[in-house]
Amino acid sequence: MTVSIIVGTQWGDEGKGKITDYLTQDMDMVVRYQGGNNAGHTVVIKDKIFKLHLIPSGIFYNNVLCVIGNGVVVDPAVLIQEIETLKSQGFSVSNLRISAQAHVIFPYHRYLDQAQEKKREAGRIGTTSRGIGPCYVDKYNRRGIRIADLYNEKVFREKLDWNIKEKSFLLDKFYAFDKKIDIDKIYVDYLGYALAIKQYVALESTALINEAIEKKKNILLEGAQGAMLDVDHGTFPFVTSSNPIAGGACTGAGVGPTAIDEVIGVVKAYVTRVGSGPFPTEIEGKLGDELREKGGEYGATTGRPRRCGWFDAVVMKHAARINGLTQLAITKLDVLDGLDKIELCVAYEYKGKQITDFPTDIHRLAECKPIYEEHAGWSEDTTKIKEYNDLPENAKKYLARLSELAGVKISLISVGAERGQIIEV
Ligand code: IMP
């Protein structure tokens, strides 16, 4: 029996969907613990591409209970669409559970997200416009509406009234936002959504998860986004509004830290970022464009082109520490096939000094220059390799250095999008 957490170690989009899908073969339960439909997990099964935003990718396996935990923010219209799409593709969703404690995203959250971004102008975060931040604000302001509230019509109407009064005032008077909020429509729509998802709602999701732990089941707690988008430990304010790091699994699923056995960090062999904010190892120009095309680096949620950069061991070390990583799963190694030289950032230069502790203040970070170590590339195609020993020597050297700098062993290496393109180390 193992309780494992899977986390992104960079700015999201490390390929967690693929690794989660692989690990799920041995799982009884998969729990998503934070974020919302800002995330996009891509899974490729027999040349078919599946994109999930809310439902854990464990749903592709029979007998795996997939839980949307209390720490997730749920847009029910998106969730219902995802359920319907899966059903139409022949997958059963009867193993889906949604925590009644999860907070609900309303249209006014999306409007606020858009209005705030517009008003920020130059300081724009580049959010996904899905209403994630404003929904978490309501949660922490204790005004949010949870899934459970949708089944108590009186409580729901009262909370909705209050929220809509407040948001209408803000949108109208402060943001001069052009869309109006129609409370009656939202009320009726959301009662309909509540009915549609009722069969999946877990009234006591933490009891469900903890009972599985007590029964010594294999459980995977799945984070969205990545460590550098963590609201506390990332490149604030260019972050998401939750805690993707491993600690977020404890609050977002209701699991005590002593129950956790493994923390698996998903690491892309290079680095990408969508949205604004500092990115020390960003590669601009032709090479950056080539990596983007070869790696298919376009957002799974918004389709935005991702910024591409060299592997950053300063970020990696920070991620290893704040997550307590016990293993690394390397993804997209094959995207580096055919490069003559590969740069690996081993430290930053800050005010004439060499530093390896990640500066979490973006103003200090902006003054940092990456210090690179040059590695020889490899010309071989790695996409069909099944054994670690068959990897090109230079690829092995690159991976060994990466693992050494992280201080964490590598357990998996992904060399393509398909399920079978994975090497166990
Ligand atoms: P939000 O989560 O929509 O508020 O966006 C905040 C920041 O996080 C923006 O820079 C987004 O591009 C980024 N972000 C949110 N979700 C993801 C993700 O799943 N992958 C990569 N970046 C993300």
* Bond preceding residue 76 cis, omega within 30 of 0: no
pLDDT, position 234: 96
Is 13 one of the catalytic residues? yes
Q: Phi-psi bin for 224: left (phi > 0), alpha (psi -120 to 50), beta?
A: beta
Is 139 one of the catalytic residues? yes
pLDDT, position 406: 97
With a 6 Å cutoff on the Cβ, whether 126 touches ligand 1 is yes
* Residue 275 CB-density burial (10 A; 0-12 exposed, 13-18 middle, 19+ buried): buried
pLDDT, position 181: 94
pLDDT, position 250: 98
CA of 240 to the centre of ligand 1 (A): 6
Alpha-carbon gap, residue 347 to 92, rounded angstroms: 48
* Positions in the chain short of pLDDT 50: none
Any binding-site annotation on 235?
Answer: no
CA of 393 to the centre of ligand 1 (A): 36
Q: What pTM was estimated for this model as a whole?
A: 0.96
Is 233 one of the catalytic residues? no
pLDDT, position 43: 79
pLDDT, position 86: 93
* Closest atom, ligand 1, to C-alpha of 242: 2
**Measuring from atom 9 of ligand 1, which residue has the nearest CA?**
127
- In the chain the domains, ranked by start, together with CATH numbers, are 3-99+201-263 (3.40.440.10), 103-196 (1.10.300.10), 267-424 (3.90.170.10)
Q: Where are the alpha helices (DSSP H) in 63-152?
A: 76-88, 107-120, 132-140
* Closest atom, ligand 1, to C-alpha of 229: 8
Alpha-carbon gap, residue 420 to 249, rounded angstroms: 28
**Measuring from atom 5 of ligand 1, which residue has the nearest CA?**
127
pLDDT, position 201: 98
Q: Which two tokens stand for residue 291?
A: 């990596």
